[in-house]
């Protein structure tokens, strides 16, 4: 394909077959190339039109109604819940209720008890009466599933804040935890960064055990209102679960006798830890859950609502609200501008937008301005490593993201910047930092190195999803791909990463996807990385991956995988076709040299046929992952950037990523 003069308008020329590719001259092949070229051009125009004036892209980050419910509960606890906010949030929450009265945590998924309890309570706060049909259905389903007593710990913590649950019947989490050294089991740095930021403030809440007057009772959510907190049986003492249950009993006993001076010192240390990690925009870690618990903890320690820390924190949460045209208000758990921007740049460049196009240069300038050059919590495990990297969000200097850093570098290398020395310096810092974050097993996690302790997940407190950050195939693949394009394909660190990936391939030929759904995402990440690092397309691992992808292609030509694949094997590689997952499969197949295969042709046709007139794709399904199964994400820009990347590589061939100097 030949890019147009401005990279944004005009028809795209189909890619000429390479000398090493079996040429296809049939009318059908020519037709699909034309379809791909036209679809790519429409997508380019659509994506360029969505760029912010500052240079970034950001799609909505949709999760589930617990974010909206907990936002209302926070405001109720702090005494700042207003009628307009409650009404708008209720409109969104009601719209997400399933016909059976429950709420799911992803589109098309099954009802989830904890989400249903939190949504129900939020609607009660907004004024919905318990005898209204939709509320009665929800309450009935809650009772059928065991009532509040069967909900997750985090849900019951929220209820305990208002006296709807007893603090004595919750797992204990003492603030003295902050004093444990980093080498001691169950110190705060054994937890993944997202869990760490949540648990530290919750230790203060657990110690204070506050109860604000409840505006109503919740008897209708108990299977037996006379015994709302039924005792739970203990697991055998010889099991890990039983051991940690008994540890929790000991901690409850300690709560009653903890020395006041020690507890006060622990809570003050926790408060300093929290305040030191507040970002410039007022949030904590750029994500909603740590922010709400940090605000509660600090408020309990005497920070009034007009304190600058509190005021900035509340303002940051307001920025997480997405207001719909119908007046509904949805709360994002996080915002993803750095991730969305680097993926958009890669997509546009691979689709033929010229490397010095103003949109790409502006995006590169914005990404360069987002580089993090100071140490964060990651330095606890890597104290001698020089900083350099990028986070996921607008502001999150404490927790740069290894995955984002790898993709930002790949994006910057596709831009011909007027000051290449700036790009070179930032890329060098980022690549060195990323390489240094390699774990002992040769792979990479998302935020920390060697964050693999088995103990945090065993705590009775930690039933809200993954709480550690072990290496994953998708992150490791992105790092390997980046290092290969940086000329380090044969570096010992890269080779160890490749060896780890090859060992992690599953028997069916796929790779598990930690941060995207699921095996299609993992495979779509790993195959391009392995071929970029020099593995031949004839390698047995590549051939097994190709065979698996071809075997799970849907009858309509697309690919899809339901989130239930994280728990149920029969869903692996199966689900309704989506634009993002079809693109991931195509990226793997194209990297494996399968451009002229029937599977690729059918996948490209599916993308072209399902594209809207404005160049976008519709995708209600959740294809992003926060915690496998427990917390799912619909990144609204995934449906735009990944199909464009796949179409661009189909039309243009595999990208050549390198140093683009000013006059290159």
pLDDT at 241: 76
Report the pLDDT value the prediction gives residue 229, as an integer from 0 to 100.
77
* Nearest C-alpha neighbor of 310 from the set 517, 8, 74: 74
Burial 183-205 (b: 16+ CB within 10 A, else e): eeeebbbbbbbbbbbbbbbbbbb
- What does the mean pLDDT of the chain come to? 92
Cβ atoms of 338 and 397 closer than 8 Å: no
Give the pLDDT confidence of 491-502 residue by residue, as tens digits: 999 999 999 999
Mean pLDDT (whole number) for 546-551: 98
Across 225-233, average pLDDT: 77
* Least confident range of 10-24, 61-75, 418-432: 10-24
Exactly one of 365, 403, 404, 474 is catalytic; which is it?
Answer: 403
Domain ranges of the chain: 27-60+334-459+467-652, 62-220+235-331
In the prediction, which pLDDT does 19 show?
A: 31
**CA–CA distance, 639 with 624 (Å, rounded to integer):** 11
Give CATH for domain 27-60+334-459+467-652: 1.50.10.20
What's the rounded Cα separation, in Å, for the pair 126 and 123? 5
- Rounded percentage of the chain residues whose pLDDT exceeds 90: 85
Q: Residue range 288-294: average pLDDT? A: 92
- pLDDT higher than threshold 50 for residue 279: yes
HEC per residue, 240-286: HHHHHHHHHHHHHHHHHHCCHHHHHHHHHHHHHHHHHCECCCCCECC
- In this prediction the pTM is 0.92
120 secondary structure, DSSP code: H
* Predicted confidence band of residue 392 (pLDDT cuts 50, 70, 90): very high
At 358 the pLDDT is: 98
User: Is 614 annotated in the active site?
Assistant: no
What's the pLDDT tens digit per position in 599-657?
A: 999 999 999 999 999 999 999 999 999 999 999 999 999 999 999 999 999 999 988 77
Q: In the structure, what pLDDT confidence band is assigned to residue 234 with cuts at 50, 70 and 90?
A: confident
Residue that wins the pLDDT comparison between 663 and 259 = 259
| Domain 62-220+235-331 indexed as CATH 1.50.10.20 | yes
Domains 27-60+334-459+467-652 and 62-220+235-331 share a fold: yes
Average pLDDT over residues 201-213: 95
Give the contacts of 425 (CB within 8 A, at least 6 positions apart).
none
State the pLDDT at residue 544. Answer: 98
pLDDT tens string 76-110? 999 999 999 999 999 999 999 999 999 999 999 99
Tokens of 319: 């920025």
Return d(Cα 4, Cα 414) in angstroms, integer: 17
Q: Quick one: pLDDT at residue 660?
A: 65
Q: What is the pLDDT of residues 175-194, one digit of tens each?
A: 999 999 999 999 999 999 99
Q: Which tens digits make up the pLDDT trace of 565-600? A: 999 999 999 999 999 999 999 999 999 999 999 999
**What are the backbone angles phi and psi of residue 225, rounded to the nearest 5°?**
-55, -25
CA nearest 461: which of 200, 210, 253? 200
């Amino acid at each position: 394909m030949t890019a147009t003069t401005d990279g944004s308008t005009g028809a795209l020329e189909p890619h000429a077959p390479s000398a090493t590719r079996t040429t296809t001259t049939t009318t059908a092949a020519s037709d699909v190339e034309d379809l791909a070229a036209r679809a790519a051009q429409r997508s380019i125009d659509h994506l360029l039109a969505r760029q912010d004036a500052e240079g970034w892209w950001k799609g909505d980050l949709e999760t589930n109604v617990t974010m909206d419910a907990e936002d209302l509960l926070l405001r109720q606890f702090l005494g700042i819940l207003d009628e307009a906010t409650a009404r708008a949030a209720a409109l969104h929450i009601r719209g997400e209720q399933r016909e059976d009265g429950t709420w799911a945590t992803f589109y098309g998924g099954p009802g989830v008890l904890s989400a249903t309890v939190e949504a129900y309570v939020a609607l009660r706060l907004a004024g919905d009466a318990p005898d209204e049909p939709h509320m009665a259905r929800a309450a009935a389903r809650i009772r059928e599933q065991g009532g509040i007593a069967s909900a997750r710990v985090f849900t019951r913590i929220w209820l305990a804040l208002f006296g709807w649950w007893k603090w004595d019947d919750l797992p204990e989490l003492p603030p003295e935890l902050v004093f444990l050294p980093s080498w001691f089991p169950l110190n705060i740095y054994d937890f993944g960064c997202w869990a760490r930021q949540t648990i530290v403030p919750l230790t203060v809440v657990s110690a204070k055990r506050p109860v604000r007057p409840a505006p109503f009772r919740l008897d209708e959510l108990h299977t037996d209102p006379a015994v709302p907190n039924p005792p739970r049986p203990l697991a055998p003492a010889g099991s890990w679960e039983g051991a940690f249950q008994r540890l929790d009993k000991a901690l409850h006993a300690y709560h009653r006798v903890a020395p006041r001076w020690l507890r006060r010192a622990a809570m003050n240390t926790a408060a300093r830890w929290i305040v030191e990690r507040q970002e410039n925009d007022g949030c904590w870690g750029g994500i909603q859950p740590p922010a709400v618990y940090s605000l509660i903890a600090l408020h309990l320690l005497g920070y009034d609502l007009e304190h600058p820390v509190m005021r900035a924190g509340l303002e940051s949460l307001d920025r997480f609200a997405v207001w719909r045209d119908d007046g509904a208000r949805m709360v994002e758990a996080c915002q993803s501008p750095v991730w969305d921007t680097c993926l958009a740049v890669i997509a546009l460049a691979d689709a033929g937008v010229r490397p010095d196009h103003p949109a790409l240069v502006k995006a590169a300038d914005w990404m360069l301005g987002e580089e993090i050059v100071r140490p964060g919590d990651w330095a606890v495990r890597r104290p001698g490593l020089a900083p350099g990297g990028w986070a996921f969000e607008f502001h999150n200097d404490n927790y740069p993201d290894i995955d984002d850093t790898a993709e930002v570098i790949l994006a910057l290398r596709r831009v011909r910047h007027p000051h290449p020395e700036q790009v070179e310096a930032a890329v060098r810092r980022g690549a060195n930092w990323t390489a240094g974050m390699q774990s002992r097993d040769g792979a990479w996690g998302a935020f920390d190195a060697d964050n693999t302790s088995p103990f945090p997940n065993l705590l009775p407190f930690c039933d809200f999803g993954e709480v550690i950050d072990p290496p994953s195939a998708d992150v490791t693949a992105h790092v390997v791909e980046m290092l290969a394009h940086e000329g380090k394909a044969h570096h010992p660190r890269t080779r160890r990463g490749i060896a780890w990936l090859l060992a992690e391939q599953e028997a069916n030929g796929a790779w598990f996807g930690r941060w995207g759904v699921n095996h299609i995402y993992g495979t779509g990440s790993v195959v391009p990385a392995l071929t970029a690092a020099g593995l031949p397309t004839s390698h047995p691992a590549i051939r097994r991956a190709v065979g698996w992808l071809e075997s799970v292609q849907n009858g309509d030509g697309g690919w899809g995988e339901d989130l239930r694949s994280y728990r149920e094997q029969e869903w692996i590689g199966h689900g309704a076709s989506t634009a993002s997952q079809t693109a991931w499969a195509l990226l793997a197949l194209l990297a494996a040299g399968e451009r002229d295969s029937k599977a690729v042709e059918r996948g490209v046709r599916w993308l072209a046929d399902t594209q809207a007139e404005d160049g976008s794709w519709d995708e209600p399904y959740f294809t992003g992952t926060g915690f496998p199964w427990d917390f799912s994400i619909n990144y609204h820009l995934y449906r735009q950037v990944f199909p464009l990347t796949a179409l661009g590589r189909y039309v243009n061939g595999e990208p050549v990523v390198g140093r683009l100097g000013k006059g290159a």
